[in-house]
Structure 1
Amino acid sequence: MPENLPVPTSGGWFAEWVASGKLPGAAKAIAQLIGDTANAGSAWVNIATAKGEQIQQRIRTETAGSSAIMEALAAEAAKLGASDPAVVEVALRQLGSSAVRKHLNKASVLQNAADEMNSGDPIGDAPPDIEDDWLNRFEDLAAGASSERMQKLLGRVLAGEIRKPGAFSFATLNFVDVLDTQVATSLSAMAPFIIAYDFIPFTSRFNFTDMFDRILDLKHYGIISDEITRKTKFNPDKKQLFTVARTGFMVGGISEEEMSLDILPLTRVGKEIFPLIECSLSDDQTNEFVDHLFGHIKAEWIEIGTVKLIDRDNGIFTPVSRRNRPGNI
């Protein structure tokens, strides 16, 4: 096994919280994904309290014990009638290679989860534990995640589940399992058009465009629901914030109390998966969205700025620029 096997680093608040027992879900995930091999005769102990070189040493200890495991497997193969030593050796080498590859994949997913946790703020209250069945399903996905894209995505899923157990359903895990390049491209293409990770507005703009095929693709996988008309009520005395990815649009000077929009709602899986997609609006997309807002809402001005998300439903808006309704001074 490689000496530089990736493991969660000891830097940042995340490792300190795991070591202190403040994140039982994280400790459980680490122990299950790369730490608990006691049934194979390993000398590993609870990896959740280990740091840096301690973890690397335990990996080397695990590797040192692999010969005993291989001998046991060879004996079992003999019982099954595999008398040709060459056949047995090839089979065992393939099995060993597969085990190492799966172990590497899971460790990389954990490293991405640790990076994702460290990139955010510490959790206020210690969250509850992660469910066993959920973690078992996740482990299967992590073991098979050989691409950097999938390892990063699963790292974000695990980080979100550590922060808020139950944040990702089994349906979302099943979707991730069938996620291919084509569907991933459709997700990335649609991400700049989604408001508050909840729905896609102004649907007529996609007619007779390539984006219409993207929508059909995501409908097929249960990410987007059929079009509906939604009525939104406004308080003319208050401002209204619309968020698209990390961009916020604060609408002010509203002179109507209700707006009707044709929208494509996201399903539960869509609401869980889209926040994981990296997305930023281009200048053209930003200007187009402002024009659509002015076209559907009687408002005097719109501030454009950044949004720091606290969770899917809450964030902090910082204005950067402002546009007045065309014709207003």
Structure 2
Amino acid sequence: MSDSEDGGSLVGVISEIGLPDITGIPLPAPVKRSLWRALGRLITGAVEVPVAYLEAQAGKIRAHGKGTEAVTLAAATAAAQQFGSDPTLADRAVNYFGAKIVREQLNREAVARATMEAIAASPPETEPEGAVDEDWLTEFTEIAAKKSNVEIRVILGRILAGEITKPGTFSPATLQILTTLSQSTARKFQLLSGMSIADARGFTYVVTAPFPKFQQEGLVELGVTYSDFLNLQSSGLLAPALTSQLDLNPNVNVVRADYVGQPFALRLSDASKKIANTQITVFSAIGHELRSVIPLERNDAYDVKLRTWLANQSVSIEFVTT
């Protein structure tokens, strides 16, 4: 089959299953190629059964639990006779694998939809250097097939969109952590991300200096206990050392970081003063990558604490529109 036939077939499938139309978005040619390759892997590359057929049968399988809607029972029965197995055992195997095929297909298509929505919402204007690594894409596809949680699907879609736009942005380690991350840990990480600052030098941190009992209690009054910090650390989302020191003076009058997604600069009301070294908790490289694709919502209680602590040092935060 020619490349044009493959492309036409994929376009037809995308239209058939109702994925967003991005044909009118002016994407750089390398981005388009990577996007089509990724969508092809997610939608048609993992199973041989036609996608439209699987989609049509999904409701029946969920409702009746019958894998015989997706595969041929007669073939399974013949196989059972050949190997001397009970035909009812073969029926159960058919039911199991038929339902599994459809469930994984639906998961992959949901991630494909989230990817296209992310690309459409923020289309890249420049050409990426290189393409998405084949092994990375294989690993991503396997993970996407197993994720039924809606929020995780959206995150996966944003990760793939980011990787297509800028290959190498997300490490395989970041993909792997999504296979083991519990919902409770994910919620704590999202809560902590609502207090975080991402530095242009490539790391993310939370200023913990306003909390004198941090090393005993964490940020318990804000819903993140010290035990939660230890759990986030053991999950690979925080750096090995929970407390570090950072010089914030380079941020004075310079926009080089974002506070919960908003670029800012620090302003000193007394130019003769300097900010003392500040206690922080640093995200791991994986945490830094994940923070870039999860919804961010500033924690108002933390914001008051941080601004009060800074004001005591004659410092204020000024958001900047870029």
TM-score normalised to structure 2 length: 0.75
Q: Deviations over 1:77-125 (max 9, x none)?
A: 443332x333322321221111011000100011011111111133311
Match of 1:280 in 2: 297
Count of matched residue pairs: 281
The corresponding residue for 1:26 is 35
Q: Residue 188 of structure 1 aligns to which amino acid in structure 2? A: Q
The structure where strand makes up a greater share of residues is: 1
Distance 2:174 2:118 in 1: 19
Determine if contact 2:116/2:161 at 8 Å carries over to the other structure: yes
Distance in 2, matches of 1:62 and 1:251, equals: 53
Partner residue, 1:251: 266
In structure 2, C-alpha distance between the alignment counterparts of 1:288 and 1:13, rounded to whole Å: 46
1:260 counterpart letter in structure 2 = N
What is the CA–CA distance in structure 2 between the aligned matches of 1:189 and 1:235, rounded to whole Å?
Answer: 24
Q: Once the 2 structures are TM-superposed, how far is the Cα of residue 7 of structure 1 from its aligned partner?
A: 5.1
CA distance in 2, matches of 1:116, 1:145: 18
In the alignment, structure 1 residue 222 sits paired with structure 2 residue 246: no
| Residue pair 2:115, 2:161 contacting (<8 A) in 1 also | yes
CA RMSD, 1 decimal: 3.2
State yes or no: 1:59 paired with 2:52.
Answer: yes
Structure 2 residue 219 is matched with structure 1 residue 213 = no
For 2:321, the equivalent position in structure 1 comes to 318
Pick the aligned partner of 2:83 from 74, 80, 83: 80
Partner secondary structure for residue 198 of structure 1: strand
Q: Distance in 2 between matches of 1:62 and 1:202?
A: 49
Task: Give the CA deviation at 1:250.
Answer: 2.6
- Counterpart-to-counterpart distance in 1, 2:123 and 2:73: 44
Return the alpha-carbon distance in structure 2 between the equivalents of residues 99 and 235 of structure 1: 52
Q: Which amino acid aligns with 1:100?
A: V
CA distance in 1, matches of 2:169, 2:75: 41
Conserved 8 A contact 1:168-1:272: yes
Counterpart code for 2:177 = F
Q: Which residue of 1 aligns with 2:125?
A: 123
Deviation at 1:156, TM superposition (A): 1.4
Asked if 1 retains the 8 angstrom alpha-carbon contact of 2:248 and 2:277, the reply is yes
Q: Which secondary structure does the structure 2 equivalent of 1:59 belong to?
A: helix
User: Aligned partners of 1:244 and 1:10: how far apart in 2?
Assistant: 33
Q: CA deviation at 1:272?
A: 0.7
Does 2:243 align with 1:234?
no
Equivalents in 2 of 1:69, 1:17: separation in Å?
42
Equivalent residue, structure 1, for 2:144:
142
Q: Give 1:201 deviation, angstroms.
A: 1.5
Instruction: Name the structure 1 match of 2:7.
Output: none
Are 2:129 and 2:166, in contact at CA under 8 Å, matched by a contact in 1?
yes
Change (3 A) 1:134 1:22: closer
Deviation of 1:258 after TM superposition, in Å, equals 5.9
For residues 122-150 of structure 1, what are the alpha-carbon distances to aligned partners after superposition, in whole Å with 9 as ceiling and x for unaligned? 33114522111111111111111112122
Identical amino acids, percent of aligned pairs = 22
Query: Which piece of structure 1 moves more, 107-116 or 84-93?
Result: 84-93
Partner of 1:173: 175
Partners in 1 of 2:100 and 2:70 — Cα distance?
Answer: 16
Q: CA deviation at 1:59?
A: 2.1
- 3-state SS, counterpart of residue 252 of structure 1: strand
Residue 97 (1) aligns with residue 103 (2): no
Q: Secondary structure at the match of 1:263?
A: strand
| Residues 61 and 221 of structure 1, relative CA distance in 2, 3 Å threshold | closer
Give me the whole-angstrom Cα distance separating, in 2, the residues matched to 1:318 and 1:216.
Answer: 36
Take 1:33 and 1:153, find their aligned partners in 2: how far apart are those partners?
15
Could you tell me whether the CA contact under 8 Å between 1:224 and 1:267 is conserved in 2? Answer: yes
2:284 is matched with 267
Q: Does 1:9 align with 2:24?
A: no
**Which residue of structure 2 lines up, in the alignment, with residue 55 of structure 1?**
none
Secondary structure at 2:127's aligned position in 1?
coil
Answer whether contact 2:128 2:166 (CA < 8 A) is retained.
Answer: no
Could you tell me how far 1:202 is from its partner in structure 2?
2.5
Confirm or deny: 8 A CA contact 2:194 2:296 kept in the other structure: yes
Separation in 2 of the partners of 1:246 and 1:61?
Answer: 40
Q: Which deviates further from its counterpart, 99-108 or 177-186? A: 177-186
Query: Which residue pairs with 2:6 in the alignment?
Result: none
Any unmatched runs of 5+ in structure 1? 45-57, 306-316, 320-329
Query: Any conservation in 2 of the 1:13–1:122 contact (CA below 8 Å)?
Result: no
Structure 2 gap segments, 5+ residues each = 1-14, 58-68
**Contact 1:194 1:201 survives alignment (8 Å):** yes
